[in-house]
Amino acid sequence: MENLIFSLNAVLPLVFLMLLGAFLRKINVFDKDFLGKANKFIFKVLFPFFLFNNIYSSKISEEIDSNFIIFVVIISIAVVGLLIVIIPKYEKDNKNRGVIIQGMYRGNTTLFATALISNIFGNEGLAIVTMLIAIISPTYIFLTVIILDLFTDERQNYKKTLISILSNPLIIGSLLGIAVYTLQIKLPLAMEKTIADIAKTTTPIALMTLGGEIEINNIWKNIKPLVFVVAGKLIIFPAIATLIAISYGYRGVELGVILSMTAPPTAVTSYALAQQHNCNYELAGQIVFLTTLISPFTIFLFVYIFKAAGLF
């Protein structure tokens, strides 16, 4: 019960923000034109600051088991490979493929993973999770841009893909963060504060915008891919990842870390990226909405089972 309340409290604020956005759309404070521009602003300005800040401000002090880090990174990438092979067999519409694939692997780790691990294990696993986020989220953004480019109807052009990767604001933000982090550059306090201030606006503004854009009426139109993605993202992917981890002998904190990295709902950025790449962003938005709504229950289920089985 405690775990359910915890999961609900982690997720409900996100749902509330989306509902507020939907309400603002309904009373016409948000209109289509504004949302389009707001999206551009969020994608090109807020998210890069957000990603930069996440990496820059992560402080890793504990000793970290590098074998375990490598293990998680390999699983995370293997999943993407698997999805690239499997999904195109089931989904015929090219504009949906990229969206479904990224909807299944890209979790909202920045928001959920740290909250989840610290709620289950306190500060113990936090450093590993922060480190993993710093490695995996830029890797995932990188892969997503490639995947979305692969599955658009436009002609394949590798030079263009490469340019679109390197000029992607999210990737620029992440790379700058990594650079500053690894070079241990210390920014002036006033600049740090400015960046942190902007970073804090990202999630609320992005979720409100998303709420304004989601066409809930059209959810039924996409119901088949949606059920498929929700089950894949929230149940199948975390179940497989944790089973592999268990079979490799990982328990307790390590298992918690894997769960925290794989069980969160689909990342909000996936929506912005789908829009930028001319994919089916309506579907991408609905994936974010539904997985966010359902994730408290699936996360609760995982935590409950692992606790009951004595694995935590």
Partner 1 sequence: MDNFIFSLNVVLPLVFLMFIGSFLRRINIFDEDFLRKLNKITYCVLLPVLLFNNIYTSKVSGEIDLKFIIFFVILALAVIGILLIVIPRYEKDNRNRGVLIQGLFRGQFVFFGIPLMANISGDEGLVVLSTLIAIIVPIYNFLAVIILDLFTDERHNYKATIISILTNPLVIGSLLGIAASVLQIKLPSALNKTIADISKTVTPISLMILGGVIEINNIWKNRKKLILIAAVKLFIIPSFAALITIFFGYRGIELGAVLSMIAPPTAVASYTLAQQHDCNDELAGQIVFFTTLISPFSIFLFIFVFKTFGLF
Give residue for tokens 């989306």: 18
Segment (H or E) for 239: helix 237-247
Phi, psi angle pair for 43, to nearest 5° = -70, -40
Of 115 and 253, the one with the shorter C-beta distance to partner 1 is 115
Rounded Cα distance between 307 and 312, Å, is 5
CA distances from 219 to 84, 133, 230, 262, 282 (A): 24, 31, 13, 25, 9
DSSP string, 26-72: HTTSS-HHHHHHHHHHIIIIIHHHHHHHHHHT----S---HHHHHHH
205 binds partner 1 (CB under 8 A): yes
DSSP helix, strand, coil percent of the chain (3-state; round to 5):
80, 0, 20
The span of 12-20, 140-148, 258-266, 274-282 binding partner 1 (CB under 8 A) equals 12-20
- 177-196 residues near partner 1, rule: CB under 8 A: 189-191, 193-194
26 binds partner 1 (CB under 8 A): no
- 234-273 residues near partner 1, rule: CB under 8 A: none
The span of 31-39, 135-143, 238-246, 258-266 binding partner 1 (CB under 8 A) equals 31-39
Binding map of partner 1 across residues 131-170, x = CB under 8 A, - = no contact: ----------------------------------------
Number of residues that bind partner 1 (CB under 8 A): 31
What is residue 250's three-state secondary structure? coil
Which residues face 107 on adjacent strands? 266
Rounded Cα distance between 275 and 141, Å, is 14
64 binds partner 1 (CB under 8 A): no
Of 31 and 215, the one with the shorter C-beta distance to partner 1 is 31
297 binds partner 1 (CB under 8 A): no
29 binds partner 1 (CB under 8 A): yes
The span of 128-136, 172-180, 199-207, 258-266 binding partner 1 (CB under 8 A) equals 199-207
Q: Smallest distance, Å, CB 16 to partner 1?
A: 4
CB 265 within 8 A of CB 115: no
31 binds partner 1 (CB under 8 A): yes
Of 88 and 204, the one with the shorter C-beta distance to partner 1 is 204
45 binds partner 1 (CB under 8 A): yes
Among 64, 119, 204, 240, interactor with partner 1 by CB under 8 A: 204
What is residue 266's three-state secondary structure? strand
Give residue for tokens 């990226």: 273
Q: Which amino acid is at 222?
A: N
Q: Smallest distance, Å, CB 55 to partner 1?
A: 19
Among 3, 4, 40, 135, interactor with partner 1 by CB under 8 A: 40
Binding site for partner 1 (CB under 8 A): 8-9, 12-13, 16-17, 20, 24, 29-31, 33-34, 37-38, 40-41, 44-45, 189-191, 193-194, 197-198, 200-201, 203-205
